[in-house]
Structure 1
Amino acid sequence: MSSHTGSAAPGLVLRTGVPDTAAYDEAVAGAVAEGLASRIASHDADLWGPEAAEEAGKRLGWTGLATASRPLVADIEALHAELATQGVHRVVLCGMGGSSLAPEVICEAAGVPLDVVDSSDPDFVRRAAGERLSETVVVVSSKSGGTVETDSQKRAFEAAFRDAGIDPAGRIVVVTDPGSPLEESATQDGYRVFRADPEVGGRFSALTAFGLVPSGLAGADIGGLLDEAEAARPDLEADSADNPGTRLGVLMGRAAVDGVDKLVLADAGSAYPGLGDWIEQLVAESTGKDGTGILPVVVEHLDAPDFGRQATPDSVLTAIGPRTTFLDGLEPPSGYTVAVDGPLGAQLLLWEYATAVAGRILGINPFDQPDVESAKAAAREMLDGAGEPPRLRFSSGAVSVFADGASGGDWLPDGTDSVPDAVSALLDRLDPEQGYLSVQVYADRHRDAGLARLRPALAVRTGRPTTFGWGPRFLHSTGQYHKGGPATGVYLQVTTEPEADLEVPGRPFTFAEFLTAQAVGDGRVLAGKGRPVLRLHVASPEHLDALVRELV
Structure 2
Amino acid sequence: MDDQLFAAGGLTVRVAEPVSLDELAEAAPLLAAKDPTLWGSEAEPEASKRLGWVDTFVRSRDLIAQLAELRDELADLDHVVLAGMGGSSLAPEVITRTLGVPLTVLDTTDPGQVLAALKDRLLTTVVVVASKSGSTVETDSHRRVYWQAFLDAGLTEAEAGRHFVVVTDPGSPLETTAREMGAYVILADPDVGGRYSALTAFGLVPSALAGVDIAELLDQAAEFAPSIGSATDNPSLLLGAALAKTKFAALIDDGTGITGLGDWAEQLIAESTGKEGKGILPIVVETPTSPGATGPGVLTVTTGGSLYAGDVPGSGVAPGVSVNGPLGAQFLCWEAATAFAGKALGINPFDQPNVTESKDNTAAILTSGIPVEQPEFVDGAITAYGVGGSLTAAIDLLASDADYVAVMAYLDRFADAAIADLRPLLAARFGKPVTFGWGPRFLHSTGQFHKGGPQVGAFLQLTGAITEDLRVPGKPYTFGELQAAQAAGDRQALLTRQSPLLHLHLSDRAAGIDELLKALS
Structure 1 consecutive aligned stretches of length 4 or more whose deviation exceeds 3 Å: none
Q: Distance in 1 between matches of 2:46 and 2:252?
A: 32
Residue 85 of structure 2, aligned match among 96, 118, 124: 96
Structure-2 residue corresponding to 1:127: 116
1:278 aligns with 2:264: yes
Q: Is the 8 A contact 2:57 2:221 kept in 1?
A: yes
Q: Distance in 1 between matches of 2:125 and 2:457?
A: 41
1:50 aligns with 2:41: yes
1:12 aligns with 2:8: no
Q: Is the 8 A contact 2:302 2:319 kept in 1?
A: no
Structure-2 residue corresponding to 1:547: 516
Moved more, 380-389 or 486-495: 380-389
For the aligned residues, what is the CA RMSD?
Answer: 1.8
Q: Is the 8 A contact 1:103 1:214 kept in 2?
A: yes
1:440-459 Cα shifts (integer Å, max 9, x gaps): 11111011111110000110
1:193-233 Cα shifts (integer Å, max 9, x gaps): 11111110000000111000000000011111000000101
1:490 aligns with 2:458: yes
Structure-1 residue corresponding to 2:58: 67
Q: Distance in 2 between matches of 1:169 and 1:47?
A: 44
1:469 aligns with 2:437: yes
Q: Is the 8 A contact 2:275 2:452 kept in 1?
A: yes
Structure-2 residue corresponding to 1:479: 447
Structure-2 residue corresponding to 1:337: 320
1:132-164 Cα shifts (integer Å, max 9, x gaps): 012110000111110000011111111111111
Secondary structure of the residue aligned to 1:392 is: coil
Q: Distance in 2 between matches of 1:299 and 1:46?
A: 35
Q: Is the 8 A contact 2:31 2:228 kept in 1?
A: no
Q: Distance in 2 between matches of 1:549 and 1:177?
A: 47
Secondary structure of the residue aligned to 2:77 is: coil
Q: Distance in 2 between matches of 1:449 and 1:401?
A: 21
Q: Is the 8 A contact 1:440 1:492 kept in 2?
A: yes
1:404-452 Cα shifts (integer Å, max 9, x gaps): xxxxxxxx35xx2x3222212212232xxxx011111111101111111
**Could you tell me the percent identity over the aligned residues?**
48
Q: Is the 8 A contact 1:371 1:484 kept in 2?
A: yes
Residues 2/391 of structure 1: CA separation in 2 closer, same or farther (3 Å cut): farther
Q: Distance in 2 between matches of 1:424 and 1:229?
A: 45
Q: Distance in 2 between matches of 1:429 and 1:515?
A: 29
Residue 23 of structure 2, aligned match among 19, 30, 42: 30
1:293 aligns with 2:279: yes
For residue 550 of structure 1, report the CA deviation from its aligned partner.
2.3
1:107 aligns with 2:96: yes
Correspondences of 1:364-383 after superposition (within 5 Å): 364-383=347-366
Residues 327/3 of structure 1: CA separation in 2 closer, same or farther (3 Å cut): farther
Which AA in structure 2 matches 1:234? P
Structure-1 residue corresponding to 2:177: 185
Structure-2 residue corresponding to 1:220: 212
1:27-72 Cα shifts (integer Å, max 9, x gaps): x13322x2x1221121111111111100000000000112111001
Moved more, 269-278 or 281-290: 269-278
Q: Distance in 1 between matches of 2:229 and 2:466?
A: 49
Residues 327/286 of structure 1: CA separation in 2 closer, same or farther (3 Å cut): farther
Moved more, 266-275 or 372-381: 266-275
Q: Distance in 1 between matches of 2:370 and 2:113?
A: 27
Q: Is the 8 A contact 1:29 1:241 kept in 2?
A: no
For residue 473 of structure 1, report the CA deviation from its aligned partner.
0.3
1:164 aligns with 2:153: yes
Q: Is the 8 A contact 1:69 1:209 kept in 2?
A: yes
Q: Is the 8 A contact 1:241 1:247 kept in 2?
A: no
Structure-2 residue corresponding to 1:245: 236
What TM-score results when the alignment is normalised by the length of structure 1? 0.90
1:312 aligns with 2:295: yes
For residue 336 of structure 1, report the CA deviation from its aligned partner.
8.2
Q: Distance in 1 between matches of 2:475 and 2:138?
A: 12
Q: Is the 8 A contact 1:443 1:496 kept in 2?
A: yes
Q: Is the 8 A contact 2:385 2:502 kept in 1?
A: yes
* Count of residue pairs brought into register by the alignment: 513
1:298-338 Cα shifts (integer Å, max 9, x gaps): 1012132x14xx4223111111124415289xxx9xx9810
Q: Is the 8 A contact 1:327 1:337 kept in 2?
A: no
1:461-499 Cα shifts (integer Å, max 9, x gaps): 100011100000000000000010001110111100122
Which AA in structure 1 matches 2:465? E
Q: Is the 8 A contact 2:24 2:344 kept in 1?
A: no
**For structure 1, which runs of at least 5 residues remain unmatched after alignment?**
404-411
Q: Is the 8 A contact 1:499 1:540 kept in 2?
A: no
Residues 2/524 of structure 1: CA separation in 2 closer, same or farther (3 Å cut): farther
For residue 90 of structure 1, report the CA deviation from its aligned partner.
0.6
Secondary structure of the residue aligned to 2:223 is: helix
Residues 336/114 of structure 1: CA separation in 2 closer, same or farther (3 Å cut): closer
Q: Distance in 2 between matches of 1:31 and 1:172?
A: 44
Q: Is the 8 A contact 2:303 2:309 kept in 1?
A: no
Structure-2 residue corresponding to 1:358: 341
Structure-1 residue corresponding to 2:251: 265
Q: Distance in 2 between matches of 1:303 and 1:464?
A: 15
